[in-house]
Structure 1
Amino acid sequence: MKILIVTAEMQLAQDIRRYLEQEDNLCELTADMNEGRSLIGQFSYDCILLDLSFYGEDGLRLLQDLRRGKGSDRVIVISAKNSLEDKVMALKAGADDYLSKPFHLAELSARFEAVTRSRFLKAATHIVFQQLKIDTASRAVYIADRDICLTKTEYELLLFLIINKGNVIAKNTIAEHLNGQSAIHPESYDIIYEHIKNLKRKLVSEGYRIKSVYGSGYKFIACV
């Protein structure tokens, strides 16, 4: 992936770039909002990481301009602010995701993959992993041509895990994906645990697992 990082916190930017480039991504950095606008206007990026901590209204205007112009660019907002109001404001302005500081670089990497893959999923009619097939048009799931009966939330959870297969997905990332802003409420995690338990039960007999990674989250894998 080609990623543009727009932040005045250059130590953080360097740490992010080192981590992401170990995963074969190409990262460009800028601390200047005007330079960021210029780069976005000249070049195409798979994803833009925009730090609203330093740019305030200018950052929000850039986000709005992106959505009016180069709508295919995916944007992840990071910020030191963690209030519901700030998250809603950024998402309404056009952000694809919102991550509050401090965060783990592994989670940021997973979110990059999720938002960029979602762009291609919109045009895809079938998602295939080994013998598991998801028909995104009919929202049907098949394993070795057997129909797997899932609830709406189980389907969304499986699709999210599939597009992030091989990565450990934090429970709060799953909660935010499924529940949006209501994920900030602690009881939302209890609901997530229940959906994961039910999906695990339906998949394990078919040769697939949702592995719990202690203290980190969940990972979708094929049974050995």
Structure 2
Amino acid sequence: MKVLVIEDEAELREIVKDSLVKEDYIVETASDFRSALDKVSVYDYDCILLDIMLPGGSGLQVLDLLKKEGKSDNVIIISAKDSLDDKLKGLELGADDYLTKPFHIAELNARIKAVLRRKQRDGKNTLEMGNLVLDLNERSLSINGESVPLNRKEFDILNYFLLNKNRLVSKNALAEHVWGDNTDQADNLDFIYSQIKNLRKKFLVKKAEVDFEAVYGIGYKLVEK
């Protein structure tokens, strides 16, 4: 898998590159607007990490070019917390995800893996595990062919876990992905436990073949029984 890191901060760029190389990705980098344009115009990448603030131009201009070429669905924007307008604009231009600085490398790796798994679905609009089928277009869940009602947060949580099935998802990563950047101001993450508890009840009633495996003090895995 080939990843392009577009980031002008040299230290962060090298840290990200080194971590991805250890994950056996082929990694290329660009440090400014012009070099980023040159690379995305000539080469195809499985995932692109895109900073918004670049010397010589904006990452949003790079994203606009990618959208015109049908490549914007494999982009993860990495930018500062205070750039909400850029975040919204980036998502409107088709970016797949958004990660705020500073971030943990483990969280970045998880986001990249999620993007790659979505690409590998070859356009399928469902996620499946055991006897669960999550329809991404209808935002609905069925277990053994029976419809199971979900609220918006339950759907988003289950979607995230199905993209990271059998992988440990930290509470912080889940909170940021589902509830947004303001979760770092919360006193605790008990609201995550409540949502997981509700999903478990629904799984039990419908005899789901999957369950959430708690890893004390860290988070959860979605695993098959």
TM-score by length of 1: 0.78
Residue 214 of structure 2, aligned match among 207, 212, 215? 212
Give the number of aligned pairs. Answer: 221
User: Partners in 1 of 2:38 and 2:15 — Cα distance?
Assistant: 24
Shift of 1:55: 4.0
Tell which deviates more after alignment, 175-184 or 201-210: 175-184
User: Partners in 2 of 1:157 and 1:140 — Cα distance?
Assistant: 12
SS in 2 for 1:166: coil
Whether contact under 8 Å (2:6, 2:50) holds in the other structure is yes
User: Partners in 2 of 1:88 and 1:137 — Cα distance?
Assistant: 21
Q: Deviations over 1:23-49 (max 9, x none)?
A: 232211121321221111111111110
Q: Deviations over 1:57-77 (max 9, x none)?
A: 522211222222233551111
Whether contact under 8 Å (2:132, 2:208) holds in the other structure is no
Whether contact under 8 Å (2:129, 2:224) holds in the other structure is no
Q: Percent identity?
A: 36
Would the alpha carbon gap of residues 14 and 182 (structure 1) be closer, same or farther in structure 2, given more than 3 Å must change?
Answer: closer
- Alignment match, 1:105: 105
User: Partners in 2 of 1:82 and 1:190 — Cα distance?
Assistant: 26
Whether contact under 8 Å (2:33, 2:56) holds in the other structure is no
Shift of 1:175: 3.8
Shift of 1:91: 2.8
**Correspondence list, 1:179-198, <5 A:** 179=179, 186=186, 191-198=191-198
Whether contact under 8 Å (1:4, 1:29) holds in the other structure is yes
- Alignment match, 1:141: 142
SS in 2 for 1:44: coil
User: Partners in 1 of 2:119 and 2:180 — Cα distance?
Assistant: 19
Whether contact under 8 Å (1:53, 1:80) holds in the other structure is no
User: Partners in 1 of 2:147 and 2:167 — Cα distance?
Assistant: 23
User: Partners in 2 of 1:194 and 1:63 — Cα distance?
Assistant: 37
Shift of 1:171: 3.4
Shift of 1:207: 4.5
**Correspondence list, 1:1-224, <5 A:** 1-55=1-55, 57-121=57-121, 123-134=123-134, 139-142=140-143, 145=144, 147=146, 149-153=148-152, 154-179=154-179, 186=186, 191-203=191-203, 206-223=208-225
Tell which deviates more after alignment, 108-117 or 71-80: 71-80
Letter in 2 for 1:210: F
User: Partners in 1 of 2:89 and 2:135 — Cα distance?
Assistant: 33
User: Partners in 1 of 2:35 and 2:220 — Cα distance?
Assistant: 38
Would the alpha carbon gap of residues 136 and 76 (structure 1) be closer, same or farther in structure 2, given more than 3 Å must change?
Answer: closer
Shift of 1:101: 1.7
Whether contact under 8 Å (1:74, 1:96) holds in the other structure is yes
User: Partners in 2 of 1:209 and 1:94 — Cα distance?
Assistant: 32
User: Partners in 1 of 2:136 and 2:208 — Cα distance?
Assistant: 20
Letter in 1 for 2:3: I
User: Partners in 2 of 1:215 and 1:52 — Cα distance?
Assistant: 34
SS in 2 for 1:201: helix
User: Partners in 2 of 1:161 and 1:189 — Cα distance?
Assistant: 17
TM-score by length of 2: 0.78
User: Partners in 2 of 1:56 and 1:190 — Cα distance?
Assistant: 44
Q: CA RMSD in A?
A: 3.2
